[in-house]
Chains A and B, each alone.
Chain A
């Protein structure tokens, strides 16, 4: 049995919150710069230029990249040799609480969707737990903005809709979103599973490293085709037209029922903030 002190978990989450709000990952910056080079529409180029300048300024002066510092989403992969004698979810929430306060980040969470009173510390976080082999706790964190989350969609298609049906639904989602989800986007697509699994697949897809590709050849083909098709739609940066509507498409799939073809599209805005931490369990 291995242990990780509660304060280490709190500290790691706090640091991820603080870091992700102001430092955009290098890969995302590289993709934005590559898009700037290939974009030909003047207004689209100007928008991309300002997005790139914004992340430089945010890093240099430690100003949040975006005023929407998101709902805190945290995936915890827990090694099966670990034992927790405290509430892991509560520790993650404490890290979120401390990070949002310390970083002067916006508290964007209301306690009930209809009563809408702000919780004042950006908790609770959305917490996903997954068991893995080993003695590590791997944390993946994203401050997920409301604008791109609001334009995300899910449909229960029929098996007969097939690949074309999936692609049509994804393209339709991008067009309906227009400028509102803050393109250029990272498009997370979940196919299969059931209703809730499919949404989770799409969320996991936007957490994948930007440069990777799906392992399953069918999913990989879908990623490549959708990337071309989405960028041919002409939505462009902030919906103002241009070649750059998405920076990447990520497809995650799972087995499903003979009657179903669930598809979920989770959109990630260009301010694709993520942070990761790995804590190793120790003997007590």
Chain B
């Protein structure tokens, strides 16, 4: 299976092809509905966002709380479509890779292609298996959001599938 190091170089990103199953090692930043709303608010107010976007991956997840001596609880992906309007802004600011599950809007896909960005998916509902790939989780921003806060995850062999590639490939098109 193809391996991907995160942060991700432009060459590696552009080489990703729809349908490829990949294993990611390195850094993922978590973020879902409320974190996206706050990130976009900060950008609109010209404030510095708490995470870098260039080369980074945002993973749409709200994990269960970590039990003692474990880095994280169950941590599978949540649906991507709810992030669509916010992703347009984040892609404009340099975000090129997102991991979620399920189909996205046409507006999102159009901007994704324009930015030569990539949308990856995980398998929904295998949160226990996914937990095993996370070696460390550190809180980065918005602790008041609880499971929706932004965490920096250090992952090893995190499984994902290329759903939309930079060339316009779409795994959901049948």
Chain A interface residues toward B at CB < 8 A? 43, 46-47, 50-51, 53-55, 57-58, 61, 63-69, 104-108, 116, 118, 120, 145-147, 150, 178-180, 182, 234, 238-241, 269-271
Q: Is B138 an interface residue (CB 8 A)?
A: no
Give bound CA distance, A147 to B127, whole Å.
14
Residue of A nearest to B79 (CB): A180
Distance in Å from the Cβ of A230 to the closest Cβ of chain B? 15
Are B79 and A150 in contact, with the CB atoms below 8 A? yes
Chain B interface residues toward A at CB < 8 A? 19, 21, 34, 61-67, 73-76, 78-79, 81, 101-103, 121, 123-129, 131-132, 145-147, 159, 161, 171-172, 174
Residue of B nearest to A46 (CB): B21
CB-CB < 8 A to A67: which residues of B?
A: 61-64, 73-76, 78, 127, 147
Give bound CA distance, A178 to B132, whole Å.
27
Are A69 and B64 in contact, with the CB atoms below 8 A? yes
Are B171 and A116 in contact, with the CB atoms below 8 A? no
Distance in Å from the Cβ of B80 to the closest Cβ of chain A? 8
Are B147 and A108 in contact, with the CB atoms below 8 A? yes
Query: What 10 pairs between A and B have smallest CB-CB spacing?
Result: A180-B102, A54-B126, A63-B128, A64-B74, A182-B124, A58-B128, A179-B102, A271-B125, A67-B74, A67-B127
Distance in Å from the Cβ of B145 to the closest Cβ of chain A? 8
Across the interface, B78 reaches (CB within 8 A) one of A51, A53, A147, A234, namely: A147
- A65-B74, A66-B76, A67-B75 in contact; A57/B129 too (CB < 8 A)? yes
Residue of B nearest to A272 (CB): B125
Of B73, B123, B128, most buried by chain A (CB within 10 Å of CB) is B128
Are A68 and B123 in contact, with the CB atoms below 8 A? no
CB-CB < 8 A to A239: which residues of B?
A: 102-103, 172
Residue of B nearest to A177 (CB): B102
Q: Give chain A's interface secondary structure class.
A: loop
Give bound CA distance, A50 to B21, whole Å.
13
CB-CB < 8 A to B159: which residues of A?
A: 50
Give bound CA distance, A53 to B159, whole Å.
14
Give bound CA distance, A58 to B76, whole Å.
13
Give bound CA distance, A116 to B38, whole Å.
13
CB-CB < 8 A to A51: which residues of B?
A: 123, 125-126
Give bound CA distance, A55 to B123, whole Å.
13
Distance in Å from the Cβ of B62 to the closest Cβ of chain A? 6
Q: Give chain B's interface secondary structure class.
A: loop
CB-CB < 8 A to B146: which residues of A?
A: 107, 118, 120
**14 CB < 8 A contacts A-B:** A63-B127, A63-B131, A67-B63, A67-B76, A67-B78, A68-B127, A104-B65, A104-B66, A104-B73, A106-B62, A106-B65, A116-B34, A178-B103, A271-B125
Give bound CA distance, A231 to B2, whole Å.
31
CB-CB < 8 A to B131: which residues of A?
A: 63
CB-CB < 8 A to A104: which residues of B?
A: 64-67, 73
- A54-B126, A64-B127 in contact; A108/B62 too (CB < 8 A)? yes
Distance in Å from the Cβ of B79 to the closest Cβ of chain A? 5
CB-CB < 8 A to A68: which residues of B?
A: 62, 76, 78, 127
Distance in Å from the Cβ of A119 to the closest Cβ of chain B? 10
Distance in Å from the Cβ of B37 to the closest Cβ of chain A? 9
Contacts A46-B21, A108-B62 known; list 16 others, CB within 8 Å.
Answer: A43-B161, A50-B123, A54-B129, A57-B128, A57-B132, A61-B128, A63-B74, A67-B63, A68-B76, A104-B65, A106-B63, A106-B65, A147-B102, A147-B124, A178-B103, A239-B103
Residue of A nearest to B146 (CB): A118
Give bound CA distance, A239 to B122, whole Å.
12
Give bound CA distance, A147 to B62, whole Å.
13
Are A238 and B34 in contact, with the CB atoms below 8 A? no
- A180-B79, A180-B102, A182-B101 in contact; A64/B128 too (CB < 8 A)? yes
Across the interface, B64 reaches (CB within 8 A) one of A43, A64, A179, namely: A64
Distance in Å from the Cβ of A6 to the closest Cβ of chain B? 27
Residue of A nearest to B148 (CB): A118
Across the interface, B73 reaches (CB within 8 A) one of A54, A63, A241, namely: A63
Distance in Å from the Cβ of B57 to the closest Cβ of chain A? 18
Distance in Å from the Cβ of A115 to the closest Cβ of chain B? 12
